[in-house]
Amino acid sequence: MTFKSKIKTIEWTQNVSRMIDQRILPKEFKTVDIKTSEEMYYAIKDMIVRGAPAIGIAGAHGIVLAAMEIKTKDKQEFLKELKRKAEYIKSSRPTAVNLMWAADKQIELAESIQGDTNEITEALKQNAIKMENEDIEINKKIGDFGSEAVPKGASILTHCNAGALATVGYGTALGVIRSAFAKDPTIKVFADETRPRQQGARLTTWELTRDGIPTTLITDGMCSYFMSKGMIDMVVVGADRIAANGDTANKIGTYTVAIAAKYHKIPFYIAAPLSTIDISIKSGNDIPIEERSHDEVTHINGDWICAEDVNIINPGFDVTPNELISGIITEKGILRPCYKTSIQNAFNLK
């Protein structure tokens, strides 16, 4: 089955990083050309591009832009400046480890090149394009493995957007849904709206309805109700960082969905590439959680929605403990508890 939406969220083209502006979807579809490493820092921070694998690729592009900006031909000076700029780009958002992973891969490559600074820059460009293509391939593998876990005619709940828009294309959690739908067009999706930035309402429903996948939008507080009515058979969500024990950081509200799924005995899956697993972190307690602007909570569409002097707190992510997770769907297969062992094995298979 082919899908209508061959969405390419981000791509290196004509010496710029071209990305879909996700701040304005679904009202407007527009791409933005990012031309400097500083513009890339803000594109990630302000969420023109978002979603863990997509910001990984944005980081890889950012390093290419950084290399193109550095004027010195002295290799040691060049590498020193490149590493400084890499740290700056990596500081744009703290939770999704794919950003650090991709930027570090680019730096490792730059250090390994025997040629001059032009050759390093060219190698970084080629590697960024390779990473883009690999991202789509990995998502298709995740989709294939994950589709095996989807019951016939299932209603699948997802939270936030772990789709083509959160990756280069196809998606992780929505990749599972796309692959399952290709085999069984009777499946249906429930999409949580995902306050405060509405990635579920704005992005997930846009993507899935373009592909003709039946999708029902619900508000975040409704998931337990639909579970209690027997209307949800499975949950699949993405991840921003998975610790070595399987604890998983994902968009705020994911933990609530996982608790509700456990109570109602509904399988709860994470879909993510191995690059989202941070084996240097023992448990979810060590995952840095981004605190975002309070305006995201106090305003809807530019209008105040609360008392002006109320206290606000706005963590962008929460951590779902591993015991609530039925499986982690990766490009190497579905990892099952005990995650400490299955994650270790998956990395040895690499």
Sites for ligand MRU among residues 36-65 (CB under 6 A): 50-53
Size of the site for ligand MRU (CB under 6 A): 17
Nearest one of 186, 195, 176 to 237, comparing CA atoms = 176
**Hey, CA dihedral for 294, 298, 303, 308, is it positive or negative?**
negative
Alpha-carbon span 171 to 236, nearest angstrom: 12
Q: Which residues pair with 157 in a beta bridge?
A: 190, 235
Alpha-carbon span 26 to 44, nearest angstrom: 19
> Between 252 and 291, how does the x/- string for binding to ligand MRU read (CB under 6 A)?
----------------------------------------
The smaller minimum CB distance to ligand MRU, of residues 245 and 250, is found at: 250
Identify whether 240 is a catalytic site residue.
yes
| Interacting residues of 300 by C-beta distance below 8 A, sequence separation 6+ | none
Q: Does 199 participate in binding ligand MRU (rule CB under 6 A)? A: yes
> How many C-beta neighbours within 10 Å does residue 145 have?
21
Q: With contact defined as beta carbons under 8 Å apart, do 9 and 167 qualify?
A: yes
> Between 138 and 177, how does the x/- string for binding to ligand MRU read (CB under 6 A)?
----------------------x-x---xx----x-----
The smaller minimum CB distance to ligand MRU, of residues 111 and 291, is found at: 291
Interface pick for ligand MRU out of 107, 131, 176, 239 (rule CB under 6 A): 239
Q: Which residues pair with 10 in a beta bridge?
A: 19
Interface pick for ligand MRU out of 192, 240, 247, 278 (rule CB under 6 A): 240
Alpha-carbon span 194 to 160, nearest angstrom: 5
Query: In the bound complex, which residue of the shown chain has the CB atom lying closest to ligand MRU?
Result: 238
Interacting residues toward ligand MRU by CB under 6 A: 50-53, 96, 160, 162, 166-167, 172, 199, 238-240, 250-251, 316
Residues with catalytic annotation? 240
